[in-house]
């Protein structure tokens, strides 16, 4: 698996990340802390900026 992907802006994004869309609020801090401690650098918080609700066509 690729370590990262190149975006259309030229920036790179890690290929593996932690998704927190439906995480229970009381578990979020511990999960994110553990992920960062384990080396994760991509934390996907899509629900926080409402992207998961944006649908086209």
Half-sphere exposure of 36 (CA within 13 A, CB side): 8
Distance CA(9)–CA(50), nearest Å, equals 22
Residue 35: CA count within 13 A, CB half-sphere: 16
User: What amino acid positions are annotated as catalytic residues?
Assistant: 49
């Amino acid at each position: 698996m690729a370590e990262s992907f190149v975006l259309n802006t030229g920036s790179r994004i890690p290929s593996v990340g932690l998704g927190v869309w439906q995480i229970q609020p009381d578990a979020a801090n511990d999960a994110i802390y553990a992920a960062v401690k384990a080396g994760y650098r991509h934390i996907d918080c899509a629900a926080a900026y409402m992207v998961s609700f944006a649908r086209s066509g």
